Structure 1
Amino acid sequence: MEHISGKEYGGERPLFASHDLYLENVTIHAGESALKECTNIEAVGCRFEGKYPFWHVDGFVVKNCLFTEGARAALWYSRNLEMTDTLVEAPKMFREMDGIRLERVRIPDAQETLWHCRNVELKNVEVAHADYLFMHSENIRIEDYRQQGNYSFQYCKNVEIRNAVIDSKDAFWNTENVTVYDSELEGEYLGWHSKNLRLVNCKISGTQPLCYAHNLILENCTMADDCDLAFEYSSVEASVKSPVRSVKNPRTGSITAESYGEIILDENIKAPADCKIKVWNE
């Protein structure tokens, strides 16, 4: 493996089609596609300032690096990435990728990040300004995670999340096969139009959660006082260890909670209209 240390590059494609390359304390200045069409790249302590540095790359390790704002859209159309201890200030990272592992990574401007990606693992990752995060991605495992940003995880499939704090309006819309354990989910309109969404030991807040959901499961969850008009037109099996402010027209299944502020079953309820709404010890 060729070792390059302490050098600076800029302009168009300075390291195009490189293979078996170890970069240490290297700076990529303004320009485009510094490491396009590469394989087996390791970058340690490097600084990326130019656009699109890693496109069409197969097999790369990024450790203790910085992607500045100018390094926008830095990792697209690539495979088999391992990134650790890195700060990503650049927006629109990770598109059309297969095989991503991020650990101890911070992304303070995560808007439109992680689109159309497959086989993704995140651990000890923190993201902010993350509107439209994880669009149309699948096979995702997340642990010890903090997120602020709306419209996240839309159209995702096969997701498992543990020990997370997710502040996101419209999270998990149109998802399929998502399970969330031991997490806080904050934001309006959670989980609409989802299929096989399962929440275990979660704290839920925000208006009108979990509507239009198919095969929704809640196990040992709590709901904040602002969770009104919940479960509209959903098929649901829910055990809620708190009061529920209001339930509106669940379609089928059962809901058990400590108490209900209001239960709305009106002429607009949809068939089979047989959801059992109960309290504990009843």
Structure 2
Amino acid sequence: MNVIRDEEFGGERPLFASKGLRLEGVTVHAGESALKCCSDVVAEGCRFEGKYPFWHVDGFEISLCLFTPGARAALWYSRNLVMTDTLVEAPKMFREMENLSLTRVKIPDAQETLWHCRGVKLRDVEVGNADYLFMHSEDIDIDGYLQRGNYSFQYCRNVVIRNARIESKDAFWNTDNVTVYDSELSGEYLGWHSRNLRLVRCRISGTQPLCYCEGLVMEDCEMADDADLAFEDSSLEATVNSCITSVKNPRTGSIRAAGIGETIIDGNVLAPADCRIVTEAGC
């Protein structure tokens, strides 16, 4: 493996199509596509300032690195990435990628990040300003996760999330086969139009959650006082260990809760309109 240590690069494609390359303490200044079309690259303790440094790369490890805001859209059209202990300040990262693993990574400006990716593994990752995160991605495995940003995980498929705190309006819209364990989900209009969304030991807050769902499952969950007007036009099997402020027009299935403040069944309920509602105590 060719080792480059403590050097600086800039301009257009300075390391284009390199293979078997190890970068240590390297700085990539303003420019474009520093490592485009490379393979088998290791970058440790490096600083990336220029645009699009890793495009069309196959097989790379990045650790203890910094991507400054100037390194926007840094990793696209690539596969087989392992990234650890890295700060990503650059926006619009990770597009059209396959098989990527991020561990102890912070992305404070994660807007429009992780689009159209397949085979994503996150461990102890923190993201902020994460509007439209994870659009149209699939096969996602997350454990230990903090997210702030709206409209996340839309149109995603085959997702498992554990031990997360997700603050996101309109999260999980139009998703297929998502399971969330032991997490806090905060934001308005959670999970609308989802299919096979399963929530296990989760706490839900925000108005009008879980409406228009197909095959919703909730196991031993809690709902905050502001989680009102829940379950409209949803098919579900729900066990909620807290009071629910209000339930509106669930379509079918069952709801078992500690109590429900208000149950609204009106002329807008859709067939078969046979949801069974059982409460164990008053709110």
The interval holding the TM-score normalised by the smaller chain is over 0.9
Q: Which residue of structure 1 aligns with residue 262 of structure 2?
A: 262
Give the C-alpha shift of residue 280 in structure 1. Answer: 2.7
**How is 1:220-239 mapped onto 2 (pairs within 5 angstroms)?**
220-239=220-239
Give the C-alpha shift of residue 205 in structure 1. Answer: 0.1
**How is 1:31-110 mapped onto 2 (pairs within 5 angstroms)?**
31-110=31-110
Q: Which residue of structure 2 aligns with residue 276 of structure 1?
A: 276
- The SS at the match of 2:219 is strand
Q: Distance in 1 between matches of 2:182 and 2:157?
A: 20
Q: Distance in 1 between matches of 2:41 and 2:183?
A: 36
Q: Which residue of structure 1 aligns with residue 160 of structure 2?
A: 160
Which amino acid in the other structure matches residue 142 of structure 1? I
Matched, 1:191 2:191: yes
Which amino acid in the other structure matches residue 192 of structure 2? W
Q: Which blocks of at least 5 consecutive residues in structure 1 are unaligned? A: none
- The SS at the match of 1:242 is strand
- The SS at the match of 1:16 is coil
Cα pair 2:102 2:125 within 8 Å, conserved: yes
Residue identity (%): 72
Q: Which blocks of at least 5 consecutive residues in structure 2 are unaligned? A: none
- The SS at the match of 2:143 is strand
Cα pair 2:62 2:82 within 8 Å, conserved: yes
Which amino acid in the other structure matches residue 215 of structure 2? N
TM-score computed with the length of structure 2 as normaliser: 0.99
Matched, 1:125 2:125: yes
Cα pair 2:259 2:281 within 8 Å, conserved: no
Which amino acid in the other structure matches residue 205 of structure 1? S
Give the C-alpha shift of residue 152 in structure 1. Answer: 0.2
**Number of aligned residues:** 282
Q: Distance in 2 between matches of 1:260 and 1:166?
A: 25
Give the C-alpha shift of residue 281 in structure 1. Answer: 7.8
Give the C-alpha shift of residue 254 in structure 1. Answer: 0.2
What RMSD over aligned residues (CA atoms) do the two structures have, in Å?
A: 0.9
Q: Which residue of structure 2 aligns with residue 6 of structure 1?
A: 6
Q: Distance in 2 between matches of 1:191 and 1:91?
A: 26
- The SS at the match of 1:255 is strand
Alignment deviations for residues 162-181 of structure 1 (CA, whole Å, 9 cap, x no partner): 00000000000000000000
Q: Distance in 1 between matches of 2:11 and 2:157?
A: 39
Give the C-alpha shift of residue 279 in structure 1. Answer: 0.9
